[in-house]
Chain A
């Protein structure tokens, strides 16, 4: 369940559970649509935020559903910007190497694709940690 949704502030706060991914997607798509942007283009932002939150749930909170994920959206200067913060373990997606899909398949392993997909779909992926806080910024250029 969502903890807090503040449409005016363009902010959603949820617990770190995969159960909330659909809530996250609905929120991001609604925010995108509220700017009047082309709905279809927004779908790549929606999936990227889904991937980012899935990674936080797995790698920052290690499936502990008590963690908090905060998603804040803004749009300026032809950019749509999503800031995602958590207070779990530090996890920099930019440090993860590109997956070798045929090799993973041979060893019957799934996974490892989310970050790669997120980077393909977004124009910028920036990670920083500020004290206990991890901050991930995803940017989609509008032109």
Chain B
């Protein structure tokens, strides 16, 4: 069974989304739900922490593509942190590093919002 978990937590004005396990076409709707909740609550400054994510397919990347513009329109963003090499490689192959900010540590991404 595909094992995926998503949850979010508050860090000052920033919302951290923790993703765990396997993010594919089957589990991507769970991540979409999380983004919909943030938008409903007008929380647009997001850091996605990938520390416990083992796998991502293009369906997962598609979720960020569909939501990032809404966040940016509201003075927010989707920033990424703590990616394993395999996972980062997929973002890299599709050219995401020029479209999004990637950080080694969650704190570095949060600091960016507070500058």
Question: Residues of A at under 8 Å CB distance from B?
Answer: 18-19, 21-22, 25, 40, 43, 47, 50-51, 54, 57-58, 101-102, 104-114, 116-117, 120-121
Provide the residues of chain A in CB contact with B62, threshold 8 Å.
110-113
Look across to chain B and name the residue whose beta carbon is closest to the beta carbon of A109. B66
Chain A proximity mask over B53-64: 1 for CB below 8 Å, otherwise 0: 001011101111
B99 contacts partner chain A, Cβ-Cβ < 8 Å: yes
Can you show 17 pairs from A to B with CB atoms below 8 A apart? A18-B24, A25-B22, A43-B86, A54-B24, A101-B94, A101-B99, A102-B99, A104-B65, A108-B66, A110-B59, A110-B64, A110-B66, A111-B65, A113-B62, A114-B57, A117-B58, A120-B93
Interchain CA distance A110-B63 in the complex, whole Å: 6
Question: Could you tell me if A18 and B66 are in contact, using CB atoms closer than 8 angstroms?
Answer: no
Interchain CA distance A50-B70 in the complex, whole Å: 29
Size bracket, chain B contacts: 20 to 34
Question: Could you tell me if B25 and A18 are in contact, using CB atoms closer than 8 angstroms?
Answer: yes
* A interface, over-half SS: helix
Question: Could you tell me if A51 and B65 are in contact, using CB atoms closer than 8 angstroms?
Answer: no
B105 contacts partner chain A, Cβ-Cβ < 8 Å: no
Look across to chain A and name the residue whose beta carbon is closest to the beta carbon of B63. A110
